[in-house]
Amino acid sequence: MSRLWEKGLPLDERVLRYTAGEDHVLDARLVPYDVLGSTAHAEMLAAQGLIEDADFAAIRDGLEKLGAAHADGEWSISLEDEDVHTALETRLTAAIGDAGARLHLGRSRNDQVLTALRLYLLDAADDLAGRVAGLRESLAALAARQGDVTLPGYTHMQQAMPSSVALWCGGFDEAFADAVDGLGAARRRMDRNPLGSAAGYGTPGLPLDRDRTTQSLGFGLTQQPVTAAQLSRGKAESGLLFEITLLLQDVGRLASDLLLFYTKEFAFVTLSAETTTGSSIMPQKRNPDVLELLRASSATAQACLDEALMITAKLPSGYQRDLQRLKSPLFRGIDVAIDSVDIMAFVLDGVAFVPANIEPDASIHATEEAYRLVTEEGLPFRDAYRKVGAKYAK
């Protein structure tokens, strides 16, 4: 095994384990994206006359086979590989010979990993937006089933004004529509091609065509100047985690409402038996654990965001190895968002409101009474407010 950076000097096993960290595990999701980035890079090298067309064909076909084999579970990234980049290049070179060894011309692991990450993030943002759309469909279905059921609207945890299941669902639907917009906005920092910036200072004397790889990979633009690529690291990651945090805060508030409505004291809703668990000691209990975990999901997301922001805070320009630690909170935040959105949609499909248990207090119509005194009797609103307030004063 020869890692991309090795020069024949010994490396202590403890240092390898510490510096490789979790990359050999985390990078599994980046394999198809590193295949895409490497293929586009090789195509550009051939177009620029820096490698032979035959070498490009061998690289392209070899990478395609390696990507498919990884997807089928035929190989995985090991600690000795260190990361996805070494894993692919060493296997490619073993399979096709010298052509594989020509692939790394004009790039560094620094722009290579950033390219794979951004391609992955673009897909992850779109995938999550699609899942949020599915959550909105579950809300819409609930509103269609029981939208006309009356609910008391609460302020300060007190019954305040009349509401309905349709209004309740509608508020959360707008919040999730906003989340989809936010995920779309987060793509702006992802949609920039860093490939060809190499270690952060370009490839002096090497005629790369960075715009060609931008077009091949479907990026919106080529990131310029080359020094901007490493300086921008952490921004796209944190931007996505910020939108995920806001999304999961709304998921958590939806869960909090349902938890309150599910209590025996409220009993506004029933939950599907498939979505509740039990107690190991109390045989009568059906516990809404899934909603409690959904309520906590935004804490995980915010912790991931905070970690990403703190890793990049006050770093000098240029590449720093600290940036490797962005992957763990980034992937963790994305995964908890995907799981939480999907499970909330499933829970909503089994929610049923129980109108017989929902008995709003008459006082929730107090504001309507005040408005009627204004519109029908011509009272100034403040006088109407006091008159109605005296009626309900205790």
Residue 20 pLDDT: 61
Contact 162, 188 (CB under 8 A): no
Pairwise CA distance, residues 241 & 304, whole Å = 7
CATH architecture for residues 13-101: Orthogonal Bundle (1.10)
Quick one: 101 exposed, middle or buried, by C-beta within 10 A (0-12, 13-18, 19+)? middle
Measured CA to CA in angstroms, residue 160 lies from 257, 361, 367 at distances of 16, 9, 9
Q: Are 49 and 78 in contact (CB under 8 A)?
A: no
- Cα dist. 101→55, 78, 90, 218 in Å? 10, 20, 8, 26
Looking at residue 381, what is its pLDDT?
97
What is this structure's pTM? 0.93
> For this structure, is 279 an active site residue?
yes
How many degrees, rounded to 5, is the angle at CA 81 between CA 201 and CA 90? Answer: 75
Residue 14: both structure tokens together: 């403890």
Query: Any idea how long the chain is?
Result: 394
Q: What is the pLDDT of residue 168?
A: 98
How far apart are alpha carbons 320 and 231 in whole angstroms?
10
Among the listed residues 83, 19, 9, the one whose alpha carbon sits nearest the alpha carbon of residue 325: 19
pLDDT in tens, 176-233: 999 999 999 999 999 999 999 999 999 999 999 999 999 999 999 999 999 999 999 9
Lookup result for tokens 């073993």:
94
Residue carrying the six token digits 């295949």: 35
List the catalytic residue out of 70, 279, 297, 328: 279
Q: What is the pLDDT of residue 53?
A: 98
Out of 3.40.50.720, 3.90.1530.30, 3.40.1160.10, 1.20.200.10, select the CATH number for domain 117-193+224-357. Answer: 1.20.200.10
pLDDT at 2: 55
Domain-wise residue ranges, the chain: 13-101, 117-193+224-357, 363-392
pLDDT per residue as tens digits for the range 259-307: 999 999 999 999 999 999 988 898 888 999 999 999 999 999 999 999 9
Digitized pLDDT (tens) for each residue of the chain, 394 residues in all: 454 545 444 667 777 677 666 888 999 999 999 999 999 999 999 999 999 999 999 999 999 999 999 999 999 999 888 899 999 999 999 999 999 999 999 999 999 999 999 999 999 999 999 999 999 999 999 999 999 999 999 999 999 999 999 999 999 999 999 999 999 999 999 999 999 999 999 999 999 999 999 999 999 999 999 999 999 999 999 999 999 999 999 999 999 999 999 999 999 999 999 999 988 898 888 999 999 999 999 999 999 999 999 999 999 999 999 999 999 999 999 999 999 999 999 999 999 999 999 999 999 999 999 999 999 999 999 999 999 999 988 6
- pLDDT at res. 1: 46
Q: At what angle do helices 366-377 and 381-392 cross, to 10 degrees?
A: 140
